[in-house]
Structure 1
Amino acid sequence: MPVAAPEIDAQYRVLREGAGLLDRSERARLSVTGSESAEFLQGQLTNDVEALAIGGGCYAALLDRKGKIRADMRVLRAAEDDFLIDTEQEAGELVLAHLSMYKVGRDADVAGAGAEERLLSLLGPQASKVLGIPLPREHDHRSVVIAGAECRAVATDLGADLFGPAAGFDAVRAELLERGAEPIGSEAAEIARVEAGRPRLGHEIGPGTMPQEAGINDRAVSFTKGCYIGQETVA
């Protein structure tokens, strides 16, 4: 049901002045582990995954052989041989199937996170204050304990995301609200996303879109790394 305009106005004000809290657990999350996980992802995705430091991350895309976007995602390096992938719900099965097929013969395990993990987004200038830790660069991430639950906090362009166990989800959410976050809806968050100029799969990015057409080359494409699927028409 659409949110009434006055309510959206109030939520938008929170996004501009405070910290809005939104449940985004519907997004798909995968893990890629193993001694060849970095090399494997390097040959599948558009960005330089091998160059990531532990605690760092990047935005990347999975292309078809004609250079068109099949999925976009956030890739986080949790350890030397441990990567986390966060993508749109509609792309989750596609990415899982693709990586599972192409990993044959490599020491790389691909698995979906399932319902064991949840995602909360803190959006707005007070996000870091509510979270209680600084996250200076987009995609930087670190472990943080909230309401007794160990979570992973990830810097975003509009605030921070918090990945945590489903078992402690309600307590984590309650703690963030106690610290000053205010609940918002997806409609207000979409307004902020569009204003920030960040295209989204299923909206501005469609099945026939190339990275340069979507305006994501500067964030998602490395022009110095080795070969990957679709590279010939992109880089």
Structure 2
Amino acid sequence: MTYTSPLLSLPGAVPGGAPDEAVAAHYGDPFREQRLLAQGQAVVDLSHRGVVTVTGPDRLSWLNTLSSQLLLKLAPGEASETLLLSVQGRIDFSARIVDDGATAWLIVEGAEAPGLTEWLQRMKFMLRVEIADVSADWAVVGSVARIDAFEGRTVWADPWPGVGAGGFAYSAVESHPGLERPWFEYLIPQVSLLEAVTGLEGYTPAGMMAAEALRIAAWRPRVGFETDDKTIPHELDLMRTAVHLAKGCYKGQETVARVHNLGHPPRRLVFLHLDGSQHTLPARGSGIVAEGRTVGRITSVAHHWEMGPIALAVVKRSVDPSARLLVQDADEQYAAAQEVIVPPDAGQVVGRATGFLKGPR
């Protein structure tokens, strides 16, 4: 059965585009919604997210053996982020995780939940764990604010852009733009979603257009947008929040360590300021052209209420950080200036005394 959020019944609600068609793109005034969201006065319907639970006394030790993050000592209420990788170190699943002392809650993109549940079921063996896809029972609501009315509910606090213990930052900036976007995702029973959101005093519903614009401005990667079937975490600066470089073995660890210590990721994430004179935006997936050749693709694009048209893109590592780029969308071209997120020299940290790369702060 196809899910449709009850918040689409609110006045002015316009459904989003794929993969967000189950929730609102906006409620009639996307720039106002974006401004209020940035100021901590709005909430976003993320009820199309997938929610998978893992219960049982072995849940954290078991998840720790499977994934890229150190989860053994995850305290009740502490939020983290972890990746399930292929043998080649490519991202198969990405999960926001918070444990309440009895249940590990994994928040994922909606399309990921069935596959993640099935994969985890195959990996149970004789351990004392139980896995369930509870997406039909639980909804997610996002905000940049700690919402007093949701006190006591399970909440995931985005660790981005911090550098956790065992993490490593590739981006070169001293003041990361993600610091301007704290982010919290609250778990709400699906049956009370409409009442919970409309009953909030002092908060306006905001659509995915607002949430995505703030995410892009924060350089925050999203699975299914910045990732494809070849993505490794180094390319997206996910080493800072989703990978622990000193934990025990897990599938894909050898590739993660080898690229980080001895090699370079083949691609890198960049932030783009787009020419806004055309009053349109290029489509996601549009090619990035430098010196007459295609060197990457647009992965996310939005119109920011302050910065204008912005985008995230994944380009070849060899692209000159100072190069002016063109975005080719069918017959339209958009000039683009890049800001470095992952530098061309990312990786190969063994023996390096200086450079862009930074360990935990």
TM-score (norm 1): 0.83
Measured in 2, the distance between the counterparts of 1:54 and 1:9 equals 37
Alignment pair present for 1:162 and 2:186 = yes
1:69 aligns with 91
Alignment pair present for 1:224 and 2:224 = no
* Inter-CA distance 153–36: structure 2 relative to 1 (3 Å threshold): closer
2:139 aligns with 118
Q: CA deviation at 1:54?
A: 1.4
Measured in 2, the distance between the counterparts of 1:113 and 1:159 equals 22
Equivalent pairs, count: 212
2:118 to 85, 94, 97: 97
1:197 aligns with 219
Structure exhibiting the larger radius of gyration computed from Cα positions: 2
Cα displacement string for residues 54-93 of structure 1 (whole angstroms, at most 9, x for unaligned residues) = 11120111101110001111111111x5211011112112
| Counterpart residue identity of residue 174, structure 1 | T
Cα displacement string for residues 155-197 of structure 1 (whole angstroms, at most 9, x for unaligned residues) = 3353322211122222211221xx1111111112111000001
Cα displacement string for residues 112-133 of structure 1 (whole angstroms, at most 9, x for unaligned residues) = 113111111123xxx22xx127
| Counterpart residue identity of residue 161, structure 1 | E
Instruction: Show structure 2 runs of 5+ residues with no match.
Output: 1-14, 17-24, 159-180, 258-361
| Counterpart residue identity of residue 172, structure 1 | A
Measured in 2, the distance between the counterparts of 1:82 and 1:132 equals 23
| Counterpart residue identity of residue 62, structure 1 | L
Q: Is the 2:98–2:104 contact (alpha carbons within 8 Å) kept by the matching residues of 1?
A: yes
Measured in 1, the distance between the counterparts of 2:121 and 2:243 equals 22
1:172 to 188, 196, 201: 196
Measured in 2, the distance between the counterparts of 1:39 and 1:153 equals 21
| Counterpart residue identity of residue 11, structure 1 | E
Measured in 2, the distance between the counterparts of 1:38 and 1:60 equals 12
1:144 aligns with 151
> Alpha carbon RMSD of aligned pairs, Å?
2.0
More helix by share: 1
SS at match of 1:96: helix
Measured in 2, the distance between the counterparts of 1:203 and 1:88 equals 11
Q: CA deviation at 1:216?
A: 0.3
2:32 aligns with 10
| Counterpart residue identity of residue 47, structure 1 | Q
TM-score (norm 2): 0.55
Q: CA deviation at 1:153?
A: 3.1
Instruction: Show structure 1 runs of 5+ residues with no match.
Output: 134-142, 146-150
SS at match of 1:218: coil
1:31 to 50, 53, 60: 53
Measured in 1, the distance between the counterparts of 2:107 and 2:83 equals 11
